[in-house]
Every structure is written in C-alpha cells, then in structure tokens.
Copies of this chain bind each other. A is one copy, B any other.
Amino acid sequence: MTATTIGLLLFPNLTQLDLTGPLQVFSRLPDAKVYLVAKTMAAVTSDTALMLPPTIDFAGCPQLDVICVPGGTGTDDLVNDDDTLAFLRRQAEHSRYLTSVCTGALVLGAAGLLRGYRATTHWSALEDLKAFGTIPERSRVCIDRNRISGGGVTAGIDFALTLAELLADRATAQAIQLMLEYNPAPPFNAGSPDTAPQEVVAMLKQRMQGARQRRIDAIRRAAERLSVGSAPAD
C-alpha cells in the first residue's frame, strides 16, 4: 500500500494555526506522508513569533494526493504570485483533494481552481470568493466534489477531521479526535459574527479596515489576471 501524500503550503505571513491545526490531525493518520511545501527551503514567517521551516520546495515536491492551502494576511501576496499559482495548477491535475483553510481558499480561487465550485473561507472574506467565480458557502467545512474548504483559522481542525474520515475511515478519524481531546468548550460564545457581542464585532471590523482594503486590491488584481486567461479552462 502506498502512503497518501499530503502537502501543506507554507508562505510568508500565514496564520500559523490555519496550518498547525490540520497538520496535527493529518500527522496522526496511518500511512500518510506529510510535507510542508514552500517556494524555497528558507523558513517562512508566520503571524506569530514562530518561524516555519519547510520540509520540501516546489521543485522537489512529488505529486501530492492532498494539497492544503492555509490562510493569513500573506494570501494577499500569494493570489498574485505566479510561481505559487503555477505550482498549485500543476499539482491539481493529478491530486485527489484540493483543500484550503481560511483565506487559503482565495489562493485556490486565484489559481482558477474553484471556478464553479462552492467554497467557504474566513467570515470576513466570504464575498471575495465571488471574484473567482466561486459560490461562497457560510459553513464550517464545505465539500464540493474534490474541493474541501474550511472556514476561518480554527475551522481547520473540523476540516481536517472531516478529511481524515474520507482518507481513512470514521473510526480512525474518531481515534485522532480522542487523542487530541477535541471536545471543545470555548469560554465565550464569540466565535462567529452572529453570536459575538455586537460591540466586539464592530471593534474588530474597525481594526481590520486597513487589511480589508489591501485584500480588496489584491483580489481585484488577481481576478483581472485570471480573466485574461492565465488559468486553465474548466
């Protein structure tokens, strides 16, 4: 039996929990080989003090069964990064699952790989998916054919357990959940704009305004590039 190859994309300024949540789940799968793939072998910055060393670069990366793109402010650069988009398109031709967490979905979108698909992303970025011909779905985990996307940051854990069942079986996924004691009990009910106190939602949106404008600009450029034909046809 050949191992399932799973590659998680590393890039500067990713939100590290988008990556490390799924990484934890995937690493407990029997018969899986997990790669941390980046453009070069240099460690990349995350949004925290943790630097992230890749285990393989684009050039050395084998064909992956599963590709997972995490999110973060770094996706604003990635959606216009030719090397990364070309790598994803090349891998997508023979991969079993194309997946994302948080704003990683925008990168798959910018590569033209979510056109006509439903997908989810961080609550603040849902509408941005439309620029790439993607139907936004407000859910924790969204499965459309072989495209699987998770919502914002911590949704990566729910996404990865969902995928673990597809790659192995339900008992294996449940054993991983039990080992990780994933029996969540958030101290507050503020994990969604629907449940958080409205003054908290307003404060956060206010604080995100600068980042929001940068993302809108990046998406607009990426969508223009895509429409002039650099992406594969559906």
Contact = CB atoms under 8 A, between A and B. Distances in A.
As for how many copies of this chain the complex holds, the number is 2
Given A16-B24, A171-B197, A171-B203, A177 B155 contact: no
A51 B20 CA distance: 12
Interface in A131-174: 140-141, 151-155, 157-158, 161-162, 165, 170-171, 173-174
Which of A102, A140, A152, A187: most chain B Cβ within 10 A?
Answer: A187
Contacts of A47: 27
A212 to B, nearest CB: 13
Interface stretch (A78-86, A109-117, A188-196, A216-224): A188-196
Contacts of A35: 49
Contact of A154 (B122, B184, B187): B184
Interface residues of A, number: 65
Contacts of A200: 171, 174-175, 178
B152 A154 contact: no
A12 to B, nearest CB: 15
A55 to B, nearest CB: 5
A203 B186 contact: no
B182 A153 contact: yes
A122 B183 CA distance: 12
Contact of A181 (B24, B34, B141, B191): B191
A42 interface: no
Interface in A9-41: 15-17, 20-21, 23-24, 27, 34-36
A165 to B, nearest CB: 7
Nearest to A155: B181
Nearest to A179: B204
A52 interface: yes
Given A17-B20, A20-B50, A170 B188 contact: yes
Given A177-B196, A184-B184, A53 B43 contact: yes
Closest 10 pairs (CB-CB, A-B): A152-B181, A183-B191, A174-B190, A20-B20, A184-B184, A17-B24, A27-B48, A182-B191, A153-B180, A140-B185
